[in-house]
Structure 1
Amino acid sequence: MTADRVLRKESLHSSLADPVLDTMTFLNEVTMRYPEAISFAPGRPYDGFFDTEDIVTHLRRYLDHLSEAGWSPQQIRTAMYQYGTTAGQIRDLIAASLRIDEHIDVTPESIVVTVGAQEAMLLVLRALIAGPSDVLLVSSPCYVGITGAARLLDIPLVDVEEPADGFSCAKVEAAIQREHARGRRPRAFYVVPDHSNPSGTTIGPEARAQLLELAARHQLLIIEDSPYRLVSPGNPLPTLKSQDTAGVVVHLGSYSKTVFPGARVGYIVADQRITSADGHSTLLADELSKIKSMVTVNTSSLSQAVV
């Protein structure tokens, strides 16, 4: 039976008419159509070194890890086959790797495992942008994924132009002051400090310290997106999160570049303390998990196991 009900495009959410929402699909389709071409646009890692059988090896290693940790066969079966915990089942391993690789010392409870960094952006934006006067500052040019997520959520974006000679804290502060003058609240600033996509810019040590000080002074949260650090040449500079003494940085990570994109596993470090009017206290990670439970329920247990 063929449905003959026709919906007008104008009756759908206005974001669906925005060309930015076609970008990801377009980039992936072009790459699939021309497999011999080397495209720098979608951030795809080279897959010539991948061995399909490695997936099985990695999964077996994780199952052995659970068994050695004292999990029963029933517990392992449930962990792999059932809906998993919303916040993720490899948070302890992520916390350990962050401590070793990035000197970011956080508890597993402050981490949320996500379906790639793209879901992480959506969750963080939904939680932080609370009203019509809240705006998101973005370092411009910026990653199209944050633009699309904000568009879906009807979140106003304010571009902070990145000069040709590199990142400028003065421009961030000027944007904050302009928005305050307009009666709006700059809630957060999205930035990729290391090898930013698409500009390629890396923020220097002095500017990183200035940005953290500025954020603390203006009560601005920094959304630090760090997908490229472990695949970049040379010794990386310390992350903003590792230097965050004021609790102003929400750190986003992805295993798409360091493991493989098909796993679709990312994470959020959100250790900020949230207090309610009745004195109850939680972590921002707990609040993000509530949103995730209504979006993807949980990140694939099999993908987490392989990662």
Structure 2
Amino acid sequence: MSTQTNTSRLAVMNFLNEVAGDFPDAISLASGRPAEAFFDLERWLDSIPQYQREFASRRDLSYADAGRLLAQYGRTNGIVNELIAEQLALDEGVHGRSEHIVVSAGCQEALALCMLSLCQDKNDVVIARDPTYIGMTGVADLHGIEIVPLHSKDDSQLAAELEEVAEKLRHQGKRARALYLIPEFDNPTGTVLSLEAREALLSVCAGQRIAVLEDNPYGMFRYEGERLPTLYALDRAGCVIYLFTYSKTLCPAVRVGGALVPDTLFGSAEAARTLVANLGERKSFLTVNTSQLNQALIGGMLLAQQGTLRELIAPQLEHYRRNRDLLLAALEKEFADQRDAVHWNRPEGGFFLTMKLPFSFGQAEVLRCAREQHVIPMPLSFFSLSGTCQDSIRLAFSNVEPSLIGEGVARLGQFVRQCQEVCDAAV
């Protein structure tokens, strides 16, 4: 990887923040944030005393002493692990040991801890699909970890490509240590990894001893179609580390996520325990421990909801489904006469869809689109590991007002037509 590539990837978020700041009246179809209409800070803060009472009872403390202990430094690996384990089992079909959970300051920290623990040698490599989540590439770039892309768009070809890539790396004196995936409603593509592909990839990873980092921030936001088992649930070899977050189900500011290590790592219970300890040791020098007050908020909400967040997120689920449908309908209307040149997918859940255009769309086009049409899409090339996806964009529908979706698509359509006219004139 070149320094220029790393620099450009690391600069992406700053660039988008600057664009949003420079054009505050623009309709953003770039922001993948959760909808703020469902933030209920007063209710969430009121849940802390409920957890404090439970904490006091479990530790045989007075309520006041429990409060003082929660306000102190705490256990590095977390204090609400049992409640999280219950929620993951109830809501996501993920059954794991609470003592194998490391509670982190958001999933981003868990991802960084896992990558740093797995890739300790200069020849250790992470593999990911191209395009992939910027947060993962940022962690790798900041710490000098090489990322090797999988280019297959067809799920059925991924396992074969993974095996081929792992073998090539071995011949180069390198080792594929981790495969990063978002199987459910991928960011940025919005796609779902098929059951057959999941099983095939797990088989390769078990044989090659490649750990799978399964990131699942959107798994509970399925609007239609069959729910597929997580990679963690399908794993029989002990190669999947499950990454979770409460940023989408509750709110990003709570900064609570984590990693669940399997009972055995490639068949070894000792190796799994060692990895958990390694994650904790690294965390102790990064953030010491995840805020116990924030953990108490999560714990109190889980207690209040009897361990499941299904009922809590039901209104969000309906909102996101409606926004997705509004976006799809607006695209059909706006680009009805351009379906031979403009294409998009229909996600069954999550926050995003992707759109293919008949011309390149990069930083310059983002600025022009924001300045001239007051709408901001996200170039898919920003997520690419190999400089591909130049003619595609990601459209986020999670954090845009429903009443603005049609107008945003109309403005995007106007910009696309203007660019197409310029391209046609240049031919």
TM bin (shorter chain): 0.7 to 0.9
Query: Which of 10, 34, 42 is 1:21 aligned to?
Result: 10
Structure-1 residue corresponding to 2:137: 147
Question: 1:122-141 residue pairs with structure 2 within 5 A?
Answer: 122-141=112-131
Letter in 2 for 1:44: R
The answer as to whether partners of 1:111 and 1:271 remain within 8 angstroms in 2 is no
The Cα of 1:283 is off from its aligned counterpart by: 3.8
The answer as to whether partners of 2:155 and 2:197 remain within 8 angstroms in 1 is no
The Cα of 1:280 is off from its aligned counterpart by: 9.5
The answer as to whether partners of 2:237 and 2:265 remain within 8 angstroms in 1 is no
Mark the runs of 5 or more structure 2 residues left unpaired by the alignment.
Answer: 299-427
The Cα of 1:79 is off from its aligned counterpart by: 3.2
The answer as to whether partners of 2:76 and 2:290 remain within 8 angstroms in 1 is yes
The Cα of 1:146 is off from its aligned counterpart by: 0.6
Give the TM-score of the pair, scaled to structure 1. 0.85
Query: Which of 237, 250, 253 is 1:259 aligned to?
Result: 250
The answer as to whether partners of 2:180 and 2:215 remain within 8 angstroms in 1 is yes
The answer as to whether partners of 1:212 and 1:244 remain within 8 angstroms in 2 is yes
1:64-97 alpha-carbon deviations (Å, 9 max, x no partner) = 3334545422541233210111001111111111
Residue 289 (structure 1) aligned with residue 280 (structure 2): yes
Q: 1:145 to 1:245 in 2, by over 3 A?
A: same
CA distance in 2, matches of 1:244, 1:280: 16
The Cα of 1:58 is off from its aligned counterpart by: 2.2
The answer as to whether partners of 1:137 and 1:158 remain within 8 angstroms in 2 is yes
The Cα of 1:156 is off from its aligned counterpart by: 0.8
CA distance in 2, matches of 1:303, 1:26: 30
Identity %: 36
Letter in 2 for 1:181: H
The Cα of 1:271 is off from its aligned counterpart by: 3.1
Deviates more, 1:41-50 or 1:246-255: 41-50
Residue 200 (structure 1) aligned with residue 200 (structure 2): no
Deviates more, 1:168-177 or 1:125-134: 168-177
Question: 1:108-123 residue pairs with structure 2 within 5 A?
Answer: 108-123=98-113
The Cα of 1:41 is off from its aligned counterpart by: 3.5
The answer as to whether partners of 1:139 and 1:191 remain within 8 angstroms in 2 is yes
Structure-2 residue corresponding to 1:4: none
1:243-286 alpha-carbon deviations (Å, 9 max, x no partner) = 111100011111111110111111101135579xxx99834212
The answer as to whether partners of 2:124 and 2:176 remain within 8 angstroms in 1 is yes
The answer as to whether partners of 2:217 and 2:245 remain within 8 angstroms in 1 is yes
Deviates more, 1:66-75 or 1:233-242: 66-75
The Cα of 1:23 is off from its aligned counterpart by: 3.0
The Cα of 1:168 is off from its aligned counterpart by: 2.1
Letter in 1 for 2:49: R
Structure-1 residue corresponding to 2:47: 58
The answer as to whether partners of 1:188 and 1:220 remain within 8 angstroms in 2 is yes
Query: Which of 234, 244, 257 is 2:235 aligned to?
Result: 244
The Cα of 1:24 is off from its aligned counterpart by: 3.4
Deviates more, 1:203-212 or 1:30-39: 30-39
Question: 1:1-307 residue pairs with structure 2 within 5 A?
Answer: 18-28=7-17, 39-69=28-58, 70-163=60-153, 168-234=158-224, 235-271=226-262, 273=264, 282-307=273-298
CA distance in 1, matches of 2:29, 2:275: 34
The Cα of 1:232 is off from its aligned counterpart by: 2.6
Letter in 2 for 1:117: C
The Cα of 1:167 is off from its aligned counterpart by: 6.7
The Cα of 1:165 is off from its aligned counterpart by: 6.8
The answer as to whether partners of 1:166 and 1:201 remain within 8 angstroms in 2 is no
CA RMSD of aligned residues (A): 2.7
Q: Which has the higher helix share?
A: 2
Q: Which structure has the larger Rg over C-alpha atoms?
A: 2
CA distance in 2, matches of 1:170, 1:238: 22
CA distance in 2, matches of 1:37, 1:229: 30
Letter in 2 for 1:253: F
CA distance in 2, matches of 1:173, 1:125: 20
- What's the secondary structure of 1:118's corresponding residue? helix
